[in-house]
Copies of this chain bind each other. A is one copy, B any other.
Amino acid sequence: MTDTSALDRFTCVIPAGGVGSRLWPLSRAKAPKFLLDLTGSGDSLLRATWNRLAPIAPPERIMVVTGNAHRDSVADQLPELLPENLVTESEPKDSSAAIGLAAAILELRDPEAILGSFAADHVIRGSVLFQRAVRTAVQAADQGYIATIGIHPGHPATGFGYIKCGAARSDLAPFDVYEVDEFVEKPDEATAAEYLRGGSYLWNAGMFIAKARVLLDQMALAEPELVAALREIAAVWDTKAAAAARERLWPGLPKIAIDYSVAEPAAAAGRMVCVAAHFEWDDVGDFASIADLLTRGRSGDLAVLGDGAQVLSDASSGIVVSESDRLVALVGMQDVVVVDTADVLLVTSKQHAQDVKSLVNRMKVTGGGHLL
């Protein structure tokens, strides 16, 4: 089986879910993170993800899994997306169900189908390196492995999980493929620094590439009922019975991240490999990440995001996100985060950017939910 034929059986799956509550009030239930332009490029993160995958797979082999509520927005942003490749969930059930349903549908279309899952709301710079890594991962997947792509860390990040890599697997590809020893959770600062020094740890970007069948069989070891239900829905997906099957089975599915149902057990069983890649990657989890991304890490700089943004800064740094044409004047504010939207103004600091989520959680309980 040649590389080309493996790539011909390769479908990119884009799970487009998650509001991104650390990015509130920019992100909202109706304007989730993946629909936003967080880089000032003019493209939403979803559209940029599509553009990045387009050189690897033709439109008929790019699939999006999203919530019912976002069906129209996704279709608007991705006019090339085929209707049969827009898979909608009636309610969010985390990544095992979302990616698993895509896998079950693809498995029926082609028993040897290979899929790669790439989040709709990450930022990548260096598309050529990304595409090369994906092609390498597809080669490994075609050999029956579950492949992930690990990013050479640029700094001792504490906001990402890591992949501990083992021996090179030159049998699968001449370069860049390694065994996965284990996945590790977000480290503290000292541990992150140690990971960086050690050299065998890569950032876990949450990308998984495998044959649809292999992925589902692996998932079935941990979650047999989930996989059975997904295959049952998929069996009628392209028929009139699809809606009824989804209505009946979807609400009862367990919420579980694919990291736990697939990646960790597969790594423990030696079925997981990692492609080590050098592109720039960020999951832009909070406003501090966006600031760092836009200023390329120059901490004294002030990043500005927003088409009509007008900012006057006196000795200030951080980030201003403006959806208005009001003047935003800053005096003596270091590492400030100002997000100016029509109905909410957020002021915080890069140091407290993660705490925005707590505020959002509080609002769910105490009121103000209409602003979320």
Residues of A within 8 A of B (CB): 25, 312, 314-315, 326-333, 336, 338, 340, 342-349, 351-352, 355-356, 358-359, 362-363, 368, 371
Contacts and interface: CB of A to CB of B under 8 A. Distances in A.
Given A338-B347, A340-B345, A352 B329 contact: no
Contacts of A351: 332
A235 to B, nearest CB: 47
A270 to B, nearest CB: 44
A315 B347 CA distance: 12
A326 B344 contact: yes
Contacts of A345: 326-329, 338, 340, 345
A333 B336 CA distance: 9
A185 to B, nearest CB: 24
Most chain B CB within a 10 A radius of its CB, from A331, A338, A344, A349: A331
Nearest to A338: B347
17 contacts: A25-B329, A312-B363, A312-B368, A314-B355, A314-B358, A314-B362, A315-B355, A326-B344, A327-B368, A327-B371, A328-B347, A329-B345, A331-B349, A331-B359, A333-B352, A336-B347, A345-B345
Most chain B CB within a 10 A radius of its CB, from A25, A329, A352: A329
Contact of A348 (B333, B340, B356, B363): B333
A344 B329 contact: yes
A58 B336 CA distance: 51
Contacts of A331: 346-349, 352, 355-356, 358-359
Contact of A329 (B328, B329, B336, B347): B347
Given A314-B359, A327-B368, A328-B345, 6 more contacts: A327-B345, A329-B344, A330-B347, A331-B358, A332-B348, A332-B355
Contact of A312 (B327, B328, B359): B359
B332 A352 contact: yes
Contacts of A362: 312, 314
Nearest to A358: B314
Contacts of A368: 312, 327
A26 to B, nearest CB: 12
Contacts of A342: 326
Most chain B CB within a 10 A radius of its CB, from A327, A336, A355, A358: A327
A352 to B, nearest CB: 3
A314 B329 CA distance: 23
A333 B347 contact: yes
A330 B348 contact: yes
Nearest to A322: B345
A333 B314 contact: no
Nearest to A371: B327
> Considering the complex of A and B, which 6 residue pairs feature the smallest CB-CB distances, nearest first?
A332-B352, A331-B348, A327-B344, A329-B346, A328-B345, A331-B352
Nearest to A349: B332
A328 B338 CA distance: 11
Contacts of A338: 345, 347
A331 to B, nearest CB: 4
A194 to B, nearest CB: 28
B347 A347 contact: yes
A22 to B, nearest CB: 10
A336 B335 CA distance: 13
A272 to B, nearest CB: 38
